[in-house]
């Protein structure tokens, strides 16, 4: 007799495991199917984010940042750090231990919440039947009352730079270099490419980033993107825009990368090459022909506002549906679906989902950019405030960057906030709260922020929207229709 569950989740990344835990907390008999195994051959929860994405990359970013900080910035604090050295193997090992602890933590949460972990592959058929193939064993049928698809995404491969051993790698391979490449090529100047490039640049690699687009990071506010690009170049990263890779060739442990730009045909030789041109939804062998679940033209599963797919009782969340490919977006969708199944009617405000780039300086934003407001025909006003005017930033010896507000000129409502600078990833939460609650610029202007803090810059930028900033010369905010 087939196993039967109230809720079956396929995929145990940030969206999937959150959905499974929440469903179990709401009283549903819940199972989660996950096929991933770690380097030791054991099942691993947490998806791309915990295993080979968000968390391990931040571990290496943090290690490399501490090194470069000690090397280049400690002296100004009166700290002598002569004969400084580092051990890449230990850095990578530390990263691996963090991953091990976090994935084990998810397994512990499953046990505590009585979520059944089924290690293997799930394929959805009609009438909410799941063909489950264990990593070890014979296939069997599972019947579910509700199915949540959360299989995530995978790196996009390009024919002109196919992965090869540990020389041409994707983002996963770039997390496991056992030595610092002398010359490192990165195809793609997106979030992943810039973060991974930053790690190895700080440790001594000559990093060359090849980006096919002419616009640097088009998803961010143009003013913010210019500031980030300027600082990355200052740190030594060679960012070449409009550089379309046309071919690669591996010879004698090196990679010849051919590309074209406005100057014509070009080439560069590197020791390692990272392919970071984006990600695509992972739905391989997920949907049987009779499943009734439809994909859009880009390969994403079609869902409505509450993440319901076209087949009754089936939901899809995270990277396999519309919207930004962000772990926290997937998590919130997972919780939302569990609530929908329990009979509630929650909503997720996609305008209040933040995004972060963990370079130095950090970049974080939520809501509209100035370019988006202009394109939408919004009558808007802006306000900016520099880190250089913050006592706390001076004390930290890091005054790079600024805060920027985009607000509706007629209603005064906050439409977007963009931060480039120290701890932007943490401060952006204040902007998320403001947008979620429909705050006006005046609401934020009337609040009291602790001194001395970096968050004072957030407050001053809100004041600057109306020319009221205290700690910079008075400026009239820009207004556009």
Residue 480 reports pLDDT greater than 70: no
Report pLDDT digits (tens) over 348-379: 999 999 999 999 999 999 999 999 999 999 99
Class of domain 352-480: alpha beta
Q: Matching CATH topology for 3-154+280-348 and 159-277?
A: yes
The CATH architecture of the domain made up of 159-277 is 3-Layer(bba) Sandwich (3.50)
* Confidence (pLDDT) at 38: 93
Q: State the Cα–Cα distance between residues 316 and 326, nearest whole angstrom.
A: 15
For range 260-278, the mean pLDDT: 98
Residue 146 reports pLDDT greater than 70: yes
What crossing angle do the helices spanning 88-112 and 14-25 adopt, rounded to 10°?
Answer: 20
CA nearest 123: which of 149, 146, 145, 152?
Answer: 149
Question: How does DSSP classify residue 454?
Answer: T
Binned at pLDDT 50, 70 and 90, residue 478 comes out as: low
Binned at pLDDT 50, 70 and 90, residue 451 comes out as: very high
* Confidence (pLDDT) at 251: 95
For range 147-165, the mean pLDDT: 97
Question: Domain coordinates of the chain in residue numbers?
Answer: 3-154+280-348, 159-277, 352-480
Report pLDDT digits (tens) over 296-355: 999 999 999 999 999 999 999 999 999 999 999 999 999 999 999 999 999 999 999 999
Report pLDDT digits (tens) over 65-102: 999 999 999 999 999 999 999 999 999 999 999 999 99
What's the CA angle centered on 311, arms 307 and 314, to 5 degrees?
50
DSSP string, 351-408: GG--EEE-SSS-EEEEE--HHHHHHTT--EEEEEEEGGG-HHHHHTT---EEEEEEEE
Would residue 451 show up in a list of annotated catalytic residues for this protein?
yes
For range 380-390, the mean pLDDT: 98
Cβ-based burial of 165 (10 A; exposed 0-12, middle 13-18, buried ≥19): exposed
Binned at pLDDT 50, 70 and 90, residue 220 comes out as: very high
Q: Are 115 and 32 in contact (CB under 8 A)?
A: yes
CATH: 1.10.8.60, 3.40.50.720, 3.40.50.2000, 3.50.50.60. Which one for 3-154+280-348? 3.50.50.60
3-state secondary structure 299-315: CCECCCCCCECCCCCEE
For range 5-10, the mean pLDDT: 98
* Confidence (pLDDT) at 99: 97
Binned at pLDDT 50, 70 and 90, residue 214 comes out as: very high
Q: State the Cα–Cα distance between residues 45 and 473, nearest whole angstrom.
A: 52
Indicate which residue of 146, 328, 418, 451 is catalytic: 451
Report pLDDT digits (tens) over 390-428: 999 999 999 999 999 999 999 999 999 999 999 999 999
Cβ-based burial of 471 (10 A; exposed 0-12, middle 13-18, buried ≥19): middle
Percentage of the chain lying above the pLDDT 70 cut: 98
CA nearest 270: which of 260, 283, 281, 259?
Answer: 259
Averaged pLDDT of the chain: 96
pTM: 0.96
For range 201-228, the mean pLDDT: 97
Cβ-based burial of 468 (10 A; exposed 0-12, middle 13-18, buried ≥19): middle
| Residue 311 Cα to chain centre, angstroms | 29
């Amino acid at each position: 007799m087939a196993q039967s569950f109230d809720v079956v989740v396929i995929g145990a990344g940030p969206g999937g495991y959150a959905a499974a835990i929440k469903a179990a907390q709401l009283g549903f008999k819940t199972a989660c199917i996950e096929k991933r195994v770690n380097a030791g051959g054991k099942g691993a929860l947490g998806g791309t984010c915990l295993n080979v994405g968000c968390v391990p990359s931040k571990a290496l970013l943090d290690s490399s940042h501490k090194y470069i900080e000690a090397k280049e910035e400690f002296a100004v604090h009166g700290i002598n750090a002569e004969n400084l050295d580092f051990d890449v193997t230990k850095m990578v090992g530390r990263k691996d231990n963090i991953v091990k602890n976090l994935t084990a933590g998810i397994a512990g949460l499953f046990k505590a919440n009585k979520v059944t972990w089924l290690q293997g592959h799930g394929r959805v058929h009609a009438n909410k039947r799941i063909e489950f193939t264990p990593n070890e064993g014979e296939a069997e049928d599972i019947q579910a009352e509700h199915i949540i698809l959360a299989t995530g995404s995978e790196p996009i491969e390009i024919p002109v730079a196919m992965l090869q051993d540990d020389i041409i790698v994707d983002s996963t391979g770039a997390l496991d270099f056992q030595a610092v490449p002398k010359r490192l090529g990165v195809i793609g100047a997106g979030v992943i490419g810039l973060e991974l490039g930053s790690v190895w640049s700080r440790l001594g690699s000559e990093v060359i980033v090849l980006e096919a687009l002419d616009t640097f990071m088009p998803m961010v506010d143009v003013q913010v993107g210019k500031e980030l690009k300027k600082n990355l170049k200052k740190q030594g990263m060679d960012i070449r825009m409009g550089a379309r890779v046309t071919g690669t060739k591996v010879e004698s442990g090196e990679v010849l990368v051919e590309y074209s730009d406005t100057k014509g045909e070009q080439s560069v030789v590197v020791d390692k090459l990272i392919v970071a041109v984006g990600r695509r939804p992972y739905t391989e062998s997920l949907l049987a022909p009779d499943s009734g679940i439809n994909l859009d033209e880009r390969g994403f599963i079609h869902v409505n506002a509450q993440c319901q797919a076209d087949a009754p009782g089936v939901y899809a969340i995270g990277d396999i549906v519309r919207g930004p490919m962000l772990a926290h977006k997937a998590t919130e969708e997972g919780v939302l679906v569990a609530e929908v199944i329990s009979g509630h009617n929650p909503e997720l405000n996609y305008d209040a989902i933040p995004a972060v780039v963990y370079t130095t300086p950090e970049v974080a934003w939520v809501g509209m950019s100035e370019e988006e407001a202009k394109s939408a025909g919004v009558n808007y006003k802006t306000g900016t405030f520099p880190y250089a005017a913050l006592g706390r930033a001076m004390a930290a010896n890091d005054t790079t960057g600024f805060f920027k507000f985009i607000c509706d000129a007629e209603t005064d409502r906050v439409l977007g906030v963009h931060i480039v600078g120290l701890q932007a990833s943490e401060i952006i939460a204040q902007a998320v709260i403001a947008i979620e609650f429909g705050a006006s610029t005046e609401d934020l202007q009337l609040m009291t922020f602790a001194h001395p803090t970096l968050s004072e810059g957030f407050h001053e930028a809100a004041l600057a929207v109306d020319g009221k900033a205290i700690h910079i010369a008075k400026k009239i905010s820009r207004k556009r229709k």
